[in-house]
Amino acid sequence: MKFLANENIPLASVVKLRNEGLDVVSVSEDFPSVKDEAVILFASMENRIIITFDRDYGELIFKHNLQHSAGVIYLRIGDFQPEEPAELLLNLFKTELNFEGYFTVVSENNIRQRKL
């Protein structure tokens, strides 16, 4: 799996994911201040799963029909330390869940998935 960490994902988490061997491109490093639509387009072209704290991606994909088949992981968690999103994701990747082709919402108590 390849990932695109949205601008709101802390760089400490991006680095931790990379250190675990994951292929992660960071919007804040490579495309700062780019619009969400451009993030979706780049992720689609590169077949990357978007990791984000931004709930607008669900609206853009499902309501405005912006096509993105690789997947989205939308994190809905409260206060956290900069490396905690990466730790959460690494634990999720150890499960039998498939993230490719799904819009996955991860909250503190629940995981929901919807096919893209």
Query: In this structure, what token pair is assigned to residue 116?
Result: 């893209």
CA-CA-CA-CA torsion sign (85, 91, 92, 98)? positive
**3-state secondary structure at position 105:** strand
Q: Are 72 and 52 in contact (CB under 8 A)?
A: yes
pTM summary value: 0.95
Q: Could you say which of 3.40.50, 2.60.120, 3.30.1490, 3.40.1130 is the CATH number of the domain covering 2-115?
A: 3.40.50
- pLDDT means over runs of 10, the chain (116 residues): 96 98 97 93 95 94 86 94 96 94 94 95
Question: Which of 72, 78, 76 minimizes the C-alpha distance to 104?
Answer: 72
DSSP string, 30-89: HSTT--HHHHHHHHHHHT-EEEES-THHHIIIIIS-----S-EEEEE--S--TTHHHHHH
pLDDT at 6: 97
63 exposure class (CB count in 10 Å sphere: 0-12, 13-18, 19+): exposed
